Amino acid sequence: MSRVFNFSAGPAMVPEAVLKQAQAEMLDWQGSGMSVMEMSHRGKEFVSIAEKAEADLREIMSIPSDYKILFLQGGASAQFAMIPMNLLGDKTSADYINTGIWSQKAIKEAKRYCKVNIAATMENVGFMRTPKPGELKLNPNAAYVHYTPNETIGGVEFDYVPETGDVPLVADLSSTIISRPIDVSKFDVIYAGSQKNIGPAGLAVVIIREDLIGQAKDNVPAMFNYKIHADANSMYNTPPTYTWYFAGLVFNWIKENGGVEKMAEINFRKARKLYAAIDQSDFYSNSIEERSRSWMNVPFTLANAELDTVFLSEAKEAGLVSLKGHKLLGGMRASIYNAMPEEGVDALIAFMMEFEARH
């Protein structure tokens, strides 16, 4: 068996140690005589798994006790709708910051429910950077401010947390959650799909300040109502139990490997060396403004796009896969989440330099 370095944006690599643990526990979880996927979600075994996953996430992210953690279905995309459905209350508008494709998807969905005020858009600069704090035109009467701290496709990220005063701040952390320490108390709602830094697809983790729960109108379907999920500890219906368990294994792995502080140190080093390799070459380029460059998703282009196919096929032969850029942007993209070992990035850089020399 040989495993490759997989640069996919998601579903993405998971730590090998976690895969091995899941393999070892596959047929018989801790003497229960069954696989986690065969367990009742109401049984004491699974409830203990679910509680540990939640406690470990709370610990690694230092989530204050007045925030509720929900494990929901529908991925991050369901949150695009659940945010307005649950946070508008009596207000009629919300602020959105447009930094690229994922914020635009959130905006499109919110427009079904409320007036969207675009607090800033980076369209005029080709989404090559995030807005500076002074560029945000926030409405003090907005129900909330929504932003995308890291745009997975564009590879741009915020280097600060917007100040929104009394207006709740909502962040789509799908592609950066648990990649570094953050101060959760600066946010009011954080949500993230699971298939990047957390584990297999199938979950959205929602971290929400408790007093914001309970504002959904009666016409909001039960499955889209935070209060119903919060009151049922995310077990209103059958949750994606195996993904939840697997996410717990990843949280535990982070705990045992130096926490998000250590992840940040390694992630920063990985990103810095990859950007340095791109910048010192005329053959590769990345045009994102330096302060807005993503640590997680590194898009780059080859000076000669005719070489893209050869690049991808030779990279694959070298055990470096899923480097093809998103179809909307073309070029290449290397996603380097927590589970991408530093050796994977070193191997990619070595391959890029060698490819450049040959072509």
Q: Which residues contact 294 (CB under 8 A, 6 or more apart)?
A: 150, 151, 152, 154, 155, 156, 157, 175, 271, 288
Start-to-end CA distance of the chain, whole Å, equals 31
Does 152 bind ligand PMP (CB under 6 A)? Our answer is yes
Minimum CB separation from ligand PMP for residue 356, in Å?
29
Distance CA 208, CA 169 (A): 10
Asked if 244 is an active-site residue, the reply is no
User: Which residue number, 204 or 249, has a Cβ lying nearer to ligand PMP?
Assistant: 204
Stretch that binds ligand PMP, among 168-176, 227-235, 251-259, 333-341 (CB under 6 A): 168-176
The set of residues, in sequence order, having a beta carbon less than 8 Å from that of 356 and lying 6+ positions away, is 281, 283, 284
292 belongs to the binding site for ligand PMP (CB under 6 A): no
CB of 331 to ligand PMP, least distance (A): 17
With binding defined as CB under 6 A, does residue 284 bind ligand PMP?
no
Query: For 163-240, where are the alpha helices, taking DSSP H only?
Result: 226-231
Catalytic site includes residue 253: no
Choosing from 32, 35, 73, 77, the residue that interacts with ligand PMP (CB under 6 A) is: 77
Catalytic residue, from 29, 68, 196, 270: name it. 196
Q: Which residue is nearest to ligand PMP (CB)?
A: 75
Taking the least distance from each CB to ligand PMP, the nearer of 112 and 217 is 112
The single residue among 143, 172, 239, 299 that binds ligand PMP, judged by CB under 6 A, is 172
Catalytic residue among 102, 244, 253, 295: 102
Does residue 11 have a cis peptide bond before it, meaning omega lies within 30 degrees of 0? yes
Among 99, 121, 130, 175, binds ligand PMP (CB under 6 A): 175
- Out of 6, 8, 174, 179, the only residue in the binding site for ligand PMP (CB under 6 A) is 174
Q: What is the x/- site pattern for ligand PMP, positions 47-76, by CB under 6 A? A: ----------------------------xx
Shortest separation between residue 182's beta carbon and ligand PMP, angstroms: 15
279 is catalytic: no
Are 269 and 343 in contact by the 8 Å Cβ rule? The answer is no
Do residues 130 and 148 touch, judged by C-beta distance below 8 A?
A: no
Q: Is 184 in contact with 170 (CB distance < 8 Å)?
A: no
Catalytic residue among 68, 172, 188, 270: 172
Q: Which residues of 111-133 are buried (b: 16+ CB within 10 A; e: fewer)?
A: eebbebeebbbbeeeebebbbee
Size of site (CB under 6 A) for ligand PMP = 11
Segment near ligand PMP (CB under 6 A), from 15-23, 50-58, 172-180, 303-311? 172-180
Residues that bind ligand PMP (CB under 6 A): 10, 75-77, 102, 148, 152, 172, 174-175, 193
Residues noted as catalytic: 102, 172, 196
